[in-house]
Structure 1
Amino acid sequence: EYYRFAKMKKLGVDSLILGHEIAGDIVEIGESVKHLKVGDRVFVSHHVPCFECHFCKQGHHTACNLLHNTNYDPGGFAEFVRIPKINIEKKGVYVLDRSVSYEEAVFIEPLGCVCRAQRLANVKKGLTVLILGCGTSGLLHIQLAKLRGVKNIIATDINEFRLQKAKEFGADTVFHANVDLSKEIKEINKFRLADIVIVCTGATSAAQQALECAASGSKIIFFAVPEPGINLEVPINKYWRNEITIMTSYGAAPQDLDEAYNWILSKRINVIDLITHRFPLSKAKEAFKVVCEAKESIKVILKTEGD
């Protein structure tokens, strides 16, 4: 939301209600809705695929035009949100088990994005995984990679607080992002670079590091990217000779959200301890300030008054 907020300010827009990754109670329902009821505790995905287009049929649900054009009204930074018919019909509303709190439920979408990326990259036992950036997404990637059997997880960040969190959540080795990263990785990894590099920050320097830290036969997956207009020079001949793959992963399809929900339901991925700050909706400005300062914060959430 911070990046959307910054974009709005650049465009001079100041009246749009943002917010996604939401959970709450159904308080009113349309006459034609049969599988949901008032009082249901739900997580709501802000966009949904059509399941019928060429992209969906090829498994690229997050490239679907419908997914890129659906949302709810207003955004999640509100006490009441109207969920469009299409979001309900296309698996955008998930009824929560009583054991899943609303605070846990807001992680279904970000964890779903992580599940999708690791599925596409085929993260598995026996590989060295490098994660660049230890915010919410990076720490979720660390936990999921651990559950997938990865024994050598390396994480980087420029923030010492986040590096400490990376250790707590399962990273085997952490480095400050300013080190000679490819050299450091070789020294601890039998002179090999990383088999999978996951970029979880939009910093251009991290994107460049990713290109430098990929082993032969490896995959680089851009989970986060620099802002539009930023380009990278790729040593294409080197990548061709060494069969290095560059990939991207955007968003989460329903199957990814299902997987994420099951991880959270089983409590095998710890999402609650990723929350460092909780603010009432009336203090959204202060919440954004904490996010912008990016000091000792990971996940910052907003709650309606009285919750």
Structure 2
Amino acid sequence: MKTASVKEPSVISVDETKSPDLGDGGILVKMEACGICGSDLEKVFGQYGQPSMRLGHEPAGIVLEVGIGVTKFKKGDRVFTHHHVPCYDCHYCKHGNETMCQKYYETNLSPCGLSEKFVVPEWNVSHGGVLKISDSLTFEEAAMIEPLACCVRAWSKYSYHQGDSVAIFGVGPTGMMHVMIAQAKKFSKIFCFDVNDFRLNFAKKFNVTDSINSADENRKQKILDHTENRGVDVAIVATSSLQALADAIDMVRKGGTVMMFGVPSKGAKMDLDMNKIYSKEITLVTSYAASDKDTAEALSLIESSQIDVKQLITHTYSISDSQKAFDHARSGEKAMKIIITK
């Protein structure tokens, strides 16, 4: 079977590997679709700051085989699989910090999600890490469950009201998911920022308040003109750009919230005027990854058509063309979500 991995900085190797051993309680899945996300790109092209370097944590596919003791799933089931599942019993989990749980990091797909076949370990199978998907849902749509779940988790970390305003910095696939969530939550004003003209024009199709180039010298004034000179209630930074983070802090209103959602490179540093944070009473929050509870909510949002993720998928590549797929995702050239298929 073919498996993609990081060979060296900026280089992906697609190698023939042995089918992984199926242990008791696990399931073997044939990958049908797997999305490329920002953390994958950071692993390949950047300086990823988390322990795992495995590629592909947005896979969906078909169950090929089940291990001894598995009763909830059978051969032929169409499933989405979550790569990490927490314990729900440690100090972190009890405080709602499931993605900080040690067990969360220990539960991985083998060899990874970006493989023609992979094993989901017993822990994940028995603790909610596998979700059956309906026949009406395409595998490409199911591959969007995990990134949407990350957005869902982020929105659970701050307060907001119907009619609020939001600025989203970076309108790639997850940025556009934040747009759709804001619309579902009836935000009155939605501003999109990016340096990619294709993505700015793409965002306009969603009837946002304004789609603004991040290099526009009047970008802050445009926000103030639409918000009675206050700034936005919520600013979501869905990019690794530290300049975007600085803009978010500058454009959020007094008492507003800045959500640091994008993945910064390891060692990334910036000068920050902490007096501005203090005097404006800005709440700065971060959100890392998603739990299986978040993926279950994301699946519900997709299957109920509250969030239409399929309109974000612009390109698909075979696993053999993983390098081309990642290069394309990195450039963002006339692209939103890029999916790798079998």
Q: Into which bin does the TM-score normalised by the smaller protein fall?
A: over 0.9
- Contact conserved, 1:211 with 1:234, CA < 8 A, in 2? no
Q: What do the CA deviations read for 1:129-160 (whole angstroms, capped 9, x no partner)?
A: 01000000100000011001101011100011
In the alignment, the residues of structure 2 paired with residue 116 and residue 170 of structure 1 have an alpha-carbon distance, to the nearest angstrom, of: 24
Tell me if 1:106 matches 2:140. Answer: no
Q: Which residue of 2 aligns with 1:291?
A: 329
> Which one-letter code corresponds to 1:81 in the other structure?
F
Q: Distance in 2 between matches of 1:17 and 1:236?
A: 36
Contact 2:80 2:133 in 1 (8 A): yes
Could you tell me the percent identity over the aligned residues? 34
Q: Are 1:228 and 2:301 matched, yes or no? A: no
**Alignment-derived partner of residue 6 in structure 1:** 45
- 2:197 pairs with one of 160, 183, 186: 160
* Cross-structure match for 1:269: 307
Q: Secondary structure at the match of 1:263?
A: helix
Q: Which of these residues, 48, 52, 65, is aligned with residue 102 of structure 2?
A: 65
Asked if structure 2 preserves the Cα contact closer than 8 Å seen for 1:42 and 1:95, the reply is yes
Is the counterpart of residue 192 in structure 1 residue 230 in structure 2?
yes
For 2:13, the equivalent position in structure 1 comes to none
Shift of 1:7: 5.1
Question: Which of 1 and 2 has higher RCO (CA within 8 Å, sep 6+)?
Answer: 2
Corresponding residue number in structure 2 for 1:13: none
Contact 1:207–1:225 (CA under 8 A) maintained in structure 2: no
- Preserved CA contact (<8 Å) 2:237 2:262: yes
Q: Which runs of 5+ in 2 are unaligned?
A: 1-39
1:121–1:219 contact (8 Å) kept in structure 2 = yes
Q: C-alpha displacement at 1:124, in angstroms?
A: 3.2
Give the match for residue 279 of structure 2.
241
Q: Which residue of 2 aligns with 1:146?
A: 183
Whole-angstrom CA distance in 2 between matches of 1:225 and 1:8: 10
Give the aligned partner of residue 60 of structure 2.
Answer: 23
Total equivalences in the alignment:
298
Are 1:123 and 1:145, in contact at CA under 8 Å, matched by a contact in 2?
no
User: Is 2:84–2:291's contact at 8 Å kept on the other side of the alignment?
Assistant: no
| Distance in 1, Cα, partners of 2:97 & 2:178 | 21
CA contact (8 A) 1:142 1:170 kept: no
Amino acid at match of 1:203: S
Equivalent of residue 86 in structure 1, options 115, 119, 123: 123
Distance in 2 (alpha carbons) for counterparts of 1:88 and 1:208: 41
Q: Deviations along 1:265-290, whole A, 9 cap, x unmatched?
A: 01121111111111122221221221
Change (3 A) 1:239 1:265: same
**Paired residue secondary structure (2:148):** helix
SS at match of 1:28: strand
1-structure distance, mates of 2:114, 2:292: 23
Q: Secondary structure at the match of 2:340?
A: strand
The structure richer in helix per residue is 1
Check 1:226–1:279 CA distance in 2 against 1; reply closer, same or farther (3 A cut): same
Counterpart in the other structure of 2:10 = none
**How far is the alpha carbon of 1:235 from its aligned partner?**
2.6
Structure 1 outlier segments of 4+, above 6 Å: none
Higher mean displacement: 46-55 or 286-295: 286-295
- Say yes or no: does 1:260 pair with 2:293: no
The 3 A distance-change label for structure 1 pair 239 and 285 is closer
Indicate conservation of the 8 Å contact 1:139/1:169, yes or no: no
Q: 2:76 aligns with which of 30, 39, 63?
A: 39
Distance 1:123 1:260 in 2: 19
Q: Distance in 1 between matches of 2:235 and 2:243?
A: 14
Judging by fraction of residues, say which structure has more strand: 2
Of 54-63 and 21-30, the range deviating more from structure 2: 54-63
RMSD, aligned α-carbons: 1.7
Aligned residue type for 1:74: P
Q: Matched residues in 2 for 1:8 and 1:228: separation? A: 5
Provide the C-alpha distance between the structure 1 equivalents of 2:101 and 2:215, rounded to a whole number of angstroms.
38
Range with bigger deviation, 45-54 or 17-26: 17-26
- Please point out which of 123, 135, 155 is paired with 1:118: 155
Which residue of 228, 237, 251 corresponds with 2:289?
A: 251
Q: Which runs of 5+ in 1 are unaligned?
A: 10-15
Moved more, 107-116 or 278-287: 278-287
Q: Residues 166 and 234 of structure 2 are in contact (CA less than 8 Å); yes or no, is this contact kept in structure 1?
A: yes
